[in-house]
Chains A and B, each alone.
Chain A
């Protein structure tokens, strides 16, 4: 379980996040929604320890993640908004390199890589160089990287951006599978897609959590419409 308590963050005089608190339970997928510049990416960067908050804490297993960063990072998978990969490597080489870098013992690297590749449906393109992949496939490789060691916390920054319908469908399936072993926090604007597999929505406005909505709808299109209404209300 990940608990975010009273998180605040600012760039110089500009307050980006204010008193953000929420809890993500194991197996739960939380979609953070909001207008551009609302603070979604910053929230994920703070949670990925790429930015230092002004105040607040992230508690995992009862311990403050900022106090024991290495232990926390070991259980974290992070997909940045615009993932940059090593273009001179093949998919297999890249995932192997990342698995080793994340501390996976050499004998288990191959298994981890094939698991992640299978999960993200990359098995056919494992030998292909990353430079030859489309944006969507690159994103999938980056997703496989984030999922490599089956992290307990998965932070996905706009994973569906720039993907076509088919790719989005496939990514949605991957993410719903990933939720089986991770607490997923995802940001983006694809409300109708999120509505299919997110368990909860957090609407963020001007750095504050404006509302938290449980996704109880069985019909995704209905949920999507309802969420859009909530979002508009939050944005208003």
Chain B
């Protein structure tokens, strides 16, 4: 900051500090934003919306009013009192005054925002400590701060410009409020009421949507361009408005006209810059704490590989509690795909209450309310929206749309105590079966005792925790299948005599009963593995963790010695706890110099028979499901892998009616009153000293 800017900045701060009206404005701002926060929090209870997003969404609508109030007299007071003459006869450029006053207003607004954050954290920390930061820590609020920093920057600059255009502070406040609050919101309402096309284009008010996107860690270059170009244009206009004071008289007519033209050109240039940035939009993920990426590697991979044009239609009422979350998910996916050069997304929002014609058309297409329909080149995928609806559902749907239609069958063995994929109980596998169906696989049962050979459409055979031994015939069939480039997924316990245990050493895997010392655990009987090998199956899972119940360990068997240039055998410890491998893969097949067209044999062994069970997958914050999906993808040759989305924690404050009331009283009454009293005392002390 250059010196005149700094001096003007400190003067603005000092002036505002001495005013009782500042204390009133900040107190009111805190009270209203806190009341909104309490309301929004109650609406979001039990959803996956983050606390930071709720806080930012509650503060953002009030911030323009505060900026307008704090800025209303920064210039108008100088103009009205005539002090502007003293300022302009100093050897200081107008822009230095403009920047100094703007920084002052912006900083004061941000200090109020910071007070709102402190108040939120203090009250919620005392009343519902468990809901406060989740697994992300206080840094999770950083993107929310960035969102508010950008918006308050724009509001402060516009309000400063309005103050420079009129000598009356109330008029400056009115104009600022009209421009920053009434115009965007009334414009939005007008679109909702009168433009069907507009309704289908916009999910929610773009400024609110932007706060939500940035607060959840997605920052696009078009957003940045909008805020910076808007701010610079507003400051330029302010500078020209101040300069016009110097241009009294006929001799200044030319300069006055030039300043008006320059101001209009600044608006046009800002609009063009935003348009250009929109055209070449790039999404930036804010690298904060463990929310370093908004989407999993799997989603990113799927989006990057997608092509063509995908139309996503959200058929949901705007007042539905899931609307904002899913709208945000679709918007960010659109940006993510664009920034990776993937498919072009077109988003459509159909609100059954408003868009009756469109809703009827969708119903005729077989779509039910509360669903998302993705269409691409005549193919469509429909997903029903439930509380669990999220990134994974959309990613699977996009993948089904963008990959050529093919029949891929996962054959599960039955009859040896294995879990069943059509069992919806805790010890069934309906959950993973549904996930595989979403990925485009078909789950079938294979009977190896029957005379028929393994079907040709078999992508892989899966053995989910057999408790009894396989017969010789079955083992022989499996061995033959494997020798022909077969793929086997085995969930096995510590007994090597049951299931396909006897077959594994021949394929390069030896089972060991391990001893875990000081291994990380959740319940004492389970083991958490977070070290993953560099392997197509596990590379995308870096940073995640899988949980296994009393797992068996795997080591390479003597068969490794058979590895040669032509007969390659690779043993990979996929997931390890210390030095112990609790999941392993074997790839056996053509080595270097061989015909690469020969399909290699693949085997993935996971040392926990209960790993794919519904009970195990329902545990939050683990990547078990993704591990299985990746294993199936690897074995079936798709090799598109995924990572866990364990960040989406449910927001649970546990507030009942009286809890909400207590929250409201503390955050919207008591703390704002304390802040008001402190600011009032500061102003009073200053005046008293005077």
Contact = CB atoms under 8 A, between A and B. Distances in A.
Interface of A: 9-12, 16, 45-46, 48-55, 70-71, 73-74, 76, 78, 80, 82-86, 88, 90, 97-98, 100-103, 129, 131-132, 145
A84 B82 contact: yes
Contacts of B83: 84-86
B11 A97 contact: yes
Contacts of A54: 249-251
Given A52-B255, A101-B7, A129-B690, A84 B247 contact: no
B535 interface: no
A40 to B, nearest CB: 15
A50 B245 contact: yes
Interface in B59-92: 81-83, 85-92
B18 to A, nearest CB: 5
B70 to A, nearest CB: 16
Most B C-beta atoms less than 10 A away, residue of A12, A50, A74: A50
Contacts of B251: 9-10, 51-55
5 contacts: A11-B249, A50-B246, A52-B247, A82-B82, A103-B91
B85 A50 contact: yes
A88 B687 CA distance: 8
Nearest to B256: A52
B90 A48 contact: no
Nearest to B81: A84
Nearest to B683: A88
A100 B18 CA distance: 21
Most B C-beta atoms less than 10 A away, residue of A9, A46, A78, A84: A84
B252 interface: yes
Contact of B690 (A55, A73, A74, A88): A88
Contacts of A10: 249-251
Nearest to A42: B249
Most B C-beta atoms less than 10 A away, residue of A16, A49, A101: A101
B246 A101 contact: no
A-B pairs, 10 with minimum CB distance:
A52-B252, A129-B690, A84-B81, A52-B251, A74-B91, A73-B91, A51-B248, A78-B89, A54-B251, A84-B83
Contact of B248 (A11, A55, A83, A129): A11
B690 A52 contact: no
Contacts of A52: 246-249, 251-252, 255
B292 interface: no
B8 interface: yes
A132 B249 contact: no
A49 B3 CA distance: 22
Contact of A48 (B14, B89, B689): B89
B256 to A, nearest CB: 9
A82 B85 CA distance: 10
Nearest to B87: A101
B535 to A, nearest CB: 63
B4 interface: yes
B553 to A, nearest CB: 71
Given A88-B690, A90-B690, A103-B3, A51 B252 contact: yes
Contacts of B250: 9-12, 54
Interface of B: 3-4, 7-8, 11, 14-15, 18, 81-83, 85-93, 245-252, 255, 686-687, 689-690
Nearest to A17: B249
Contacts of A71: 91
A101 B8 contact: yes
A86 B78 CA distance: 10
A97 B4 CA distance: 10
B82 A131 contact: no
A165 B3 CA distance: 41
A114 B89 CA distance: 22
Nearest to A93: B14
Contacts of A97: 7, 11
A185 to B, nearest CB: 14
Given A101-B4, A101-B7, A50 B89 contact: yes
Contacts of A88: 14-15, 18, 686-687, 690
A45 B251 CA distance: 13
Given A52-B247, A84-B81, A102-B90, 12 more contacts: A11-B250, A45-B85, A45-B248, A49-B88, A50-B245, A51-B246, A53-B251, A73-B90, A76-B91, A80-B86, A101-B4, A103-B90
B65 to A, nearest CB: 24
Contacts of A70: 91, 93
Given A88-B686, A90-B690, A102-B91, A48 B249 contact: no
Nearest to A74: B91
A98 B252 CA distance: 27
A113 to B, nearest CB: 14
A12 B251 CA distance: 9
Contacts of A83: 82, 86
A73 B18 contact: no
Contacts of A50: 85, 88-89, 245-246, 248
Most B C-beta atoms less than 10 A away, residue of A9, A48, A52: A52
Contacts of B85: 45, 48, 50, 78, 80
A57 B422 CA distance: 95
Contacts of A76: 89, 91
A57 B4 CA distance: 28
A100 B7 contact: yes
A101 B92 contact: yes
B573 to A, nearest CB: 66
B472 to A, nearest CB: 95
Nearest to B690: A129
Contacts of A11: 248-250
Nearest to B92: A101
A86 B10 CA distance: 14
Contacts of B91: 70-71, 73-74, 76, 102-103
A97 B3 CA distance: 11
A97 to B, nearest CB: 6
A55 B250 CA distance: 10
Nearest to B82: A84
Contact of B89 (A12, A49, A129): A49
A84 B690 contact: no
A53 B354 CA distance: 61
B248 A86 contact: no
Nearest to A149: B91
Contacts of A102: 90-92
A85 B90 CA distance: 14
Contacts of B15: 86, 88
Nearest to B250: A10
A213 to B, nearest CB: 28
Nearest to B253: A52
Contacts of B8: 101
Contacts of B7: 97, 100-101
A11 B246 CA distance: 13
